[in-house]
Amino acid sequence: MIELHTPQYRKVTFALAFGSFLVFSNLYLFQPMLPYMAQHFSISETRTNWIFAASTLALSVTLVPWAIGSESVGRRKVMLIGLFAMPIISLFMLLTTQFWLLVMARAAMGVALAAFASVAVAYMVEELSATAFSKAIGSYIAANSLGGISGRITGGVLTDALGWQQAVVVMATFTLIGTLWVAYALPVQQHFVPQKGRFREHNRSMLHHLSNPLLWLAMLVGAANFALFVNLYSVAGFRLVAAPYSLPVGLASLIFLCYLGGTVSSRLTSLWVKRHSSVSGMVLGTIISMSGMWLARIEQLPAILLGLMCISFGAFFTHTLAYSWVSRKATEAKATATALYLVHYYIGGSLGGFYLLYCWQHGGWDGVIEGGMVLYLVIFALCWMLHKRSQLSQTEPNHGFVKTSR
């Protein structure tokens, strides 16, 4: 196994982090464009959300098939297939002028993104020592947030200055160059051997994961957490381009710099789990995120920005702990387990967009707070159940669960 601070550790973690950066830059490229696209196509906010939701929904439903496929052909090959497909799909977007064709292209992008996202963490778990993994997962998710920031700012600023097509061209070019580097730098796995003809076994593993409360409850935490986090930012974008702020799309997209709060917090989780439980950390992250939503109620730009930073800090703290919890608690088929977590995560993000944008359209930010509080209370209830189930599993001799040992 690869140990912490070794040259091989740095090579693997940086290659996977950079691949993650490319994936999330492409995933979130269109999010700051949503207000612009609503005007461009003369459609409502909720209908415009399909441009973003199509990619996240397609990503969510193809994560598990990619993960199962990686068990047969290998993690590295699956990740590279997805990365190389991304710039090709981006160029196809430039050929369409119709809204629903653009939505379909974004859905195809989601399928490509799922290839990398579904197996990267499993690659780390299988190649890195326990200590190295606990450190690497924070860096990996920090790269998620940095990719999200870069993609959103690129999309917003270039759309404002040159048009959405030029933003797509720039991202496709950068992705192709970056993918070539990842293909060069990422080593072939040494501690995993692909095995064909195990489809039924993978299906059994998937059902086993979903029947394990220690895994499924954490997946639901991830779903509700992401439904709030990513879509509070979408609503904030519409809020800032409307009166009384009336900011241009490019300037409004700079709110995504507040994602840096999540970049910091995801790195802090490795320190938290040394002294405290992961579930208590999920609760803490949720409280911080909820506080940010209330702080953003103040009709002053500094308060809104500080609120968004708190939302990012808390949401990424919760996400990192829940994600690593699933990868550690899974006793078999870890790629399938982490893929199932991401299925819940992105379905939550997709459906949460329609939910919170509906609240925004009918009640403004106060309506968003009312709708958001429902989801925050759901997270607290799930964390309580996860805590109780975790305590129970430690007193039972053998029910297919494992204690936190990594």
The residue ranking higher by pLDDT, 380 or 395, is 380
pLDDT tens for each residue of 310-322: 999 999 999 999 9
φ, ψ of residue 2 to 5 degrees: the values are -80, 130
Q: Longest Cα pair distance anywhere in the chain, in angstroms?
A: 63
For 86, 147, 225, 231, 235, the CA distances from 379, given in Å and listed in that order, are 33, 26, 7, 16, 20
In the chain, % helix, strand, coil (3-state, to 5) comes to: 85, 0, 15
* pLDDT for the residue 406: 28
Q: Cβ(125)–Cβ(341) under 8 Å?
A: no
pLDDT band at 405 (very low <50, low <70, confident <90, very high): very low
Instruction: Give yes or no for residue 46 having a pLDDT over 60.
Output: yes
What does the angle CA 3 – CA 4 – CA 5 come to, to the nearest 5 degrees?
120
Q: Cβ(322)–Cβ(225) under 8 Å?
A: yes
Q: Tell me the C-alpha distance between 339 and 313, whole Å.
A: 23
Among 32-46, 204-218, 242-256, 354-368, name the one with the lowest average pLDDT. Answer: 204-218
Instruction: Give yes or no for residue 249 having a pLDDT over 70.
Output: yes
* pLDDT for the residue 404: 33
Q: Cβ(24)–Cβ(151) under 8 Å?
A: yes
Q: What is the dihedral of CA 229, 232, 234, 235, to 10 degrees?
A: 170
User: DSSP readout, 36-83?
Assistant: HHHHHHT--HHHHTHHHHHHHHHHHHHHHHHHHHHHHH-HHHHHHHHH
Gyration radius (Cα) of the chain, Å: 20
pLDDT tens for each residue of 119-164: 898 899 889 998 898 888 888 888 988 898 999 999 999 999 999 9
* pLDDT for the residue 395: 67
Q: Cβ(330)–Cβ(214) under 8 Å?
A: no
pLDDT tens for each residue of 218-241: 999 999 999 999 999 999 999 999
Q: Tell me the C-alpha distance between 76 and 6, whole Å.
A: 21
pLDDT band at 398 (very low <50, low <70, confident <90, very high): very low
In this prediction the pTM is 0.85
* pLDDT for the residue 199: 63
Domains defined along the chain, listed by start:
7-395 (1.20.1250.20)
